[in-house]
Amino acid sequence: MAELTFFSPAKINLFLHITGRRDDGYHNLQSVFRALDFGDTLTFRPKTGGDLITLLGDNLPCEQQDNLIVKAAQLLAKKFPAYASSVSVVLDKVIPVGGGLGGGSSNCAMTLIALNQLWGLHLTPKELMKIGATLGADVPFFIFAHAYQTDAIALGIGDELTAINLPSREYLLLFPDESINTAELFSNKDLIKNTPIISDLTAKIPNFLDLQNPPFFNAFETIVCEKYQKVNQALSYLRTFESATQTTARMSGTGSTVYLPLIGLGKNQVEFIDYPCPAVLVNSLYG
């Protein structure tokens, strides 16, 4: 089979609630995941012999053995050894590492999808999502989004997904140079962990799409802003534009990326602003 190329999108959380702790130690959540037209590119090329997977590219985010692309290939090969064959993967990395945008999980998901095709496994999206959930909580969303071309309501650890149709939006993303310790956040005594699940989210889209009105919020935002000053500064900067856009600036995931939905503020008005950290203008992938 010829080479396959996949776009590996970033995602943002429009809100993020922790709804409880599970018996296995993980936390349940409720969120809306939105895919962006900003992301990495992965090219998969069958090769003869050698290692199962060879990962190539500039600015690789970690050692090969720790990369979710490699782990995804190894897991599929272990489950389906009769079908596995050697592949080289070229990663064009754009999504910031550790920014709360799901870059590693997105790469992992695209690897599962690509190898499902290259190796002729004929696994369904649901089957791929089940495998992906063992590699990372956000992986199922990217498989789901790719298969059904949609954003999603997420429950459970992020693996219980329902499609949601949202209107398209443009976003300004800022990338503060902070490395967030996620485990530390979950153990923070001030983390709100028992937010009730909100029903009928489709009817409440105006309260979390452009704005973030109560009861919607990001459970980690206040904690992160208190500890990580660069995140706090970037978010405060975006909030200076809220009166012009009539939208709410917020943090994605556990950080460090912060973003602002752009309405009423022209693209030419934000392209020349002196941002406090690296920034990018993006659009929603769906909608």
Residue 266 has a pLDDT of 62
Cβ-based neighbours of 268, under 8 Å, separated by 6 or more: none
Choose, from 138, 151, 159, 210, the residue flagged as catalytic. Answer: 138
Residue 1 has pLDDT above 80, yes or no: no
- pLDDT average, residue stretch 33-40: 99
The pTM score is 0.95
Residue 34 has a pLDDT of 99
Residue 61 has pLDDT above 70, yes or no: no
Query: Could you read off the pLDDT of 19-29 as tens digits, one per residue?
Result: 999 888 889 99
> Whose CA is closest to 219, among 236, 194, 238?
194
Architecture label for domain 4-164: 2-Layer Sandwich (3.30)
Query: Could you read off the pLDDT of 91-150 as tens digits, one per residue?
Result: 999 999 889 999 999 999 999 999 999 999 999 999 999 999 999 999 999 999 999 999
Residue range(s) in the chain whose domain bears CATH number 3.30.70.890:
170-283
Residue 23 has a pLDDT of 86
Q: Return mean pLDDT, the chain.
A: 94
Query: Could you read off the pLDDT of 170-201 as tens digits, one per residue?
Result: 999 999 999 898 889 999 999 999 999 999 99
Residue range(s) in the chain whose domain bears CATH number 3.30.230.10:
4-164
Question: Is 274 in the active site?
Answer: no
Choose, from 11, 71, 93, 230, the residue flagged as catalytic. Answer: 11
Residue 56 has a pLDDT of 87
Q: Write down the CATH number for the domain with range 170-283.
A: 3.30.70.890
Question: Is 138 in the active site?
Answer: yes
